[in-house]
Amino acid sequence: MASIDHVDLNLLRVFHAIVEERSLTRAGERLSLSQPAISYSLGRLRTLFDDALFVRVRSGMQPTPTALELAEIVGRALDTVREALRHAEQFDPAISTRTFRLSLSDAGELAYLPPICEELGQRAPNVKLQVRATPIAEIEEALRANRLDFAIGNLPTLTATTRHETLFEENYVCMTRRRRGLPRGATLSRETFNQAAHVRVTSVEHSHHSINDTFRSQGLYRQVVLELAHFASVPNVLNVTDWYATLPRRLALIFNRDKQFSIYEPPVPLPSAAVTLHWHANFDQDEGNTWLRELMIEIVGKFRAL
C-alpha cells in the first residue's frame, strides 16, 4: 500500500481532470500542463494504482472500472482539500477571484440570472459564476460534495436535506400572441382553454407536474401541439402561431416587455410554486457562501413585488 508521504497529490488533480475531460489534451489545457507532463503523470498514476485506469478509444480516454470507482473518492478528496484551503481565506468581494457554481433551470437563467450578474459586476467584479443545469435528483449530493454552491428553483424534495430560504412564491399565467379576436377579460374561459392549441414545457431541472395534475382534476385538457425542454424558445414560437403557453408569471412579464403578447389568468386556480435558494449545511459559515447567498436573497427576493 502506498504511503501518502510518498505520493504527489497533484497526481490526483491530473486523474480527476482526465476523468472529467476524457482527453489527455483537454486535461492538460485545463491544468496548464504540457502533453508530455500529462502522459508522465498518467504513467505514475498507473503505477500507483496498479491499473491502466484509462484506455484509448475513438472518442477519447475511456476510464476502466477501477478508475470509475476511484473517481468519486478522488473527487470528494479534492473538494475537501479545496474547502480546507478556503477556510484560511478571508472573503473580500471587491478583490475575490473565487468561482461559484449555481444550478438554475432555464427559467431561472432568464429571470434571475441577469440581475444577479448585474450586482456581481458592481460589487464583486472579479468573482466568476458557473451555471449548471442539474437534474433534481443529483442536486443534494452536488451541494454536499461542493460541486455546486447553490441551487435556485422550485425544489421541494430538497428542503429536508439542505439549508434553504424561500425567495418568493411563483404563480402561473397563460400567454398567447396579441391579435384580433382574442377573449376579453383577464381570465381565460374553460371553453377557450380546451379549444386552444398549447405549448407545454417539461424540464429535468424543474417540475410542473402539479399544474398538469390540477388541469386534469378540473376537467381541463391541453391540446399539446408542441412540447419543449426549455422556456427560452416559447416567445419565438408564440410570435408565429396562435398557440397558448402556461408559464411562470415573472417569465411571462419578461417575455412581454414589448407588449406583443396577451396574458391571462388560467381558467382555474393553479398551485403556486415556492422558489427557494438551497445550500449545504457544511458551508453555513463559509464567508463567500454567506456573502453570495445574502446577495441572491436580496436580489431575487425583489421578485415578490411583481
Domain boundaries, the chain: 4-87, 99-160+279-305, 172-271
User: Which pLDDT value is given to residue 1?
Assistant: 52
Instruction: Report how far apart, in Å, the C-alpha atoms of 168 and of each of 131, 296, 298 are.
Output: 21, 12, 11
User: Which pLDDT value is given to residue 61?
Assistant: 92
User: Which pLDDT value is given to residue 294?
Assistant: 95
CATH superfamily, with its number, for domain 99-160+279-305: Periplasmic binding protein-like II (3.40.190.10)
Query: CB count, 10 Å around CB of 182?
Result: 14
User: Which pLDDT value is given to residue 81?
Assistant: 75
Contacts of 219 (CB under 8 A, 6+ apart): 190
Distance CA 197, CA 253 (A): 21
**Segment-wise mean pLDDT, segments of 10 residues, the chain, 306 residues:** 66 90 89 90 92 91 92 83 68 92 91 94 94 87 87 91 93 96 94 96 64 88 93 96 95 95 96 92 89 94 73
Q: Which fold has domain 4-87?
A: Arc Repressor Mutant, subunit A (1.10.10)
CATH superfamily, with its number, for domain 172-271: Periplasmic binding protein-like II (3.40.190.10)
User: Which pLDDT value is given to residue 137?
Assistant: 87
Say yes or no: do domains 99-160+279-305 and 172-271 share a fold.
yes
